[in-house]
Chains A and B, each alone.
Chain A
Amino acid sequence: MSFWKNRNARAWIWGVLAGITFLVIGAVQGQFSVIWQKAVMICLECIGIG
C-alpha cells in the first residue's frame, strides 16, 4: 500500500521532468519563436478588434 502512496507522492517529479522535456522539444521545434512573435504584437483578437 505504501508503495503506491509513495509512488503517487513522487508523481509531481515525473510531471516536472515531462514538462522540461516538452519545453526542450518545443525549443528544438522553434515553438518559442512562435509564442514570442504572437506576444510582442498587439493581439487584436484579445482586445476585441480583430
Chain B
Amino acid sequence: MRNRFRLTVQLLFTIVTNGYMYGFLNGKIYRGGLKYACVPGLSCYSCPGAVASCPIGALQALLNQRGFQVPFAALGFFFVFGSMLGRFVCGWLCPFGLVQDLLHKIPLFKKEKRLPGHRILKYGKYVTLALLVCVGSMFLFGGFAKVPAFCKYLCPSGTLLGAFPLLGTNEALRNQAGGLFLWKLGVLLGIVLLSVKVFRPFCQYLCPLGAIYGWFNHFSLVQIHWEQERCVSCGACERACPVGLSLHEISRSPECIRCGKCADACPQKCLHFTGRTGYKSTESQSS
C-alpha cells in the first residue's frame, strides 16, 4: 500500500519538477525565475522539462567560478532539505531514483540487494563527491574554464533527462555528439543494466547527493521510529529492506533511503515514520 503511495509521490514529484512540456516539444529549456532554486533530488537542469536547478549542478557551477568562493547557496539547499528529510529525498523525491526503482521491477535476472564488495564499494559515492564534484570542479580545466567534472563524466541523469530529449529534437546538438557522449551513454547503459539486477546501484555506490543527504540521516526531522518494546525480533524488516540494513541501522544509517518497506513488512507495526518531536517524546517515555 505504502509502496504504491511512494510510487505515486515519486511520479508526481518527477512530473511537477520536469513538467515544462513546451521545452520537450521544441528542444528548448525553461529560462524562468524558478531556476534560481534547486530541487532536492538529482534532476538535470538541462532537461527540457526541468523547472528548477539540480543541487549538484548548482554546487559545481559555484565551484567553477574564477577564484574560490564558499558555495553558500548550494550548501543552504543541502542543509535545509537534508535537515528536514535526510535520504527520504532519495527514496521519495529523486527522479533518477524512480528510474532505477522501475528498472528493478523488470522481471529479469535474479534480484540482488547489493553488489559483491559492498562494504568497500559503498564509499564510492564519497569518492565521487570529493574527487569529481569538489576537487574536479575546482581544478579540472577544459580550455580556460573550469569543468563541472561530475556532470561531464559521470552523471547519468544528465544523459537520460537532458541529452536524449535535447538531441532528439535539436539537430545542431545531435551533430556535435562525439566520444564524450558515447562515454556518458556507456555509463548510463551500465547503470541501467545493473539497476535491473541490483537495487539502485547508482544511489548506493556513486551518487554524491546521496552521500551528502546520508550525513543528515542521523538527525533529520523525518525518521523511521522503532518501538523496541513491541518488537518480536522476527527479522521481517531486515528481509524487506532493499539495501540490506539491519534493524539497528534502519533510518539512522547513511545508506537508508527511508523507502518505508521495513515499516510495511513489520507484522507488529513497530516501525513507522515520524518527526523528531514524536521520536523524542516516545523515547523520553521509554527511558
* A48-B185 in contact given A16-B79, A31-B73, A38-B58 (Cβ < 8 Å): yes
Chain A residues, CB < 8 A from B158: 43, 45-48
Asked whether, in the complex, the Cβ of A8 is within 8 Å of the Cβ of B75, the reply is no
Per-residue B-contact encoding for A1-38, CB less than 8 Å = 1, 0 else = 11001101111111110111111111101011111111
Asked whether, in the complex, the Cβ of B180 is within 8 Å of the Cβ of A49, the reply is yes
* A22-B72 in contact given A9-B277, A47-B159 (Cβ < 8 Å): yes
CB distance from A42 to the nearest CB of B (A): 5
Asked whether, in the complex, the Cβ of B35 is within 8 Å of the Cβ of A36, the reply is yes
Residue B80 interfacial (CB < 8 Å): yes
Give the contacting residue for A5; candidates B29, B76, B176, B283; CB below 8 A: B283
CB distance from A22 to the nearest CB of B (A): 3
Chain A residues, CB < 8 A from B163: 46-49
Q: Closest B-chain residue to A45, C-beta based?
A: B152
Asked whether, in the complex, the Cβ of A50 is within 8 Å of the Cβ of B80, the reply is no
* A48-B82 in contact given A31-B71, A43-B151 (Cβ < 8 Å): no
Interface of A is mostly: helix
Asked whether, in the complex, the Cβ of A49 is within 8 Å of the Cβ of B287, the reply is no
* A46-B142 in contact given A11-B219, A20-B80, A34-B65 (Cβ < 8 Å): no
CB distance from B87 to the nearest CB of A (A): 14
CB distance from A17 to the nearest CB of B (A): 9
Asked whether, in the complex, the Cβ of A49 is within 8 Å of the Cβ of B35, the reply is no
Q: List 24 A-B contacts (CB under 8 A).
A: A6-B280, A8-B219, A14-B83, A15-B79, A15-B82, A15-B83, A19-B75, A20-B80, A22-B73, A25-B76, A31-B62, A35-B74, A36-B35, A36-B53, A39-B61, A40-B31, A41-B29, A42-B46, A42-B166, A43-B45, A45-B151, A46-B162, A48-B152, A48-B163
Residues of B with Cβ closer than 8 Å to A?
Answer: 29-31, 33, 35-36, 38, 44-46, 50, 52-54, 57-58, 61-62, 65, 69, 71-84, 142, 147-148, 151-152, 155, 158-159, 162-163, 166-167, 173, 176-178, 180-185, 216, 218-221, 276-277, 279-280, 283-284, 287
Residues of A with Cβ closer than 8 Å to B?
Answer: 1-2, 5-6, 8-16, 18-27, 29, 31-43, 45-50
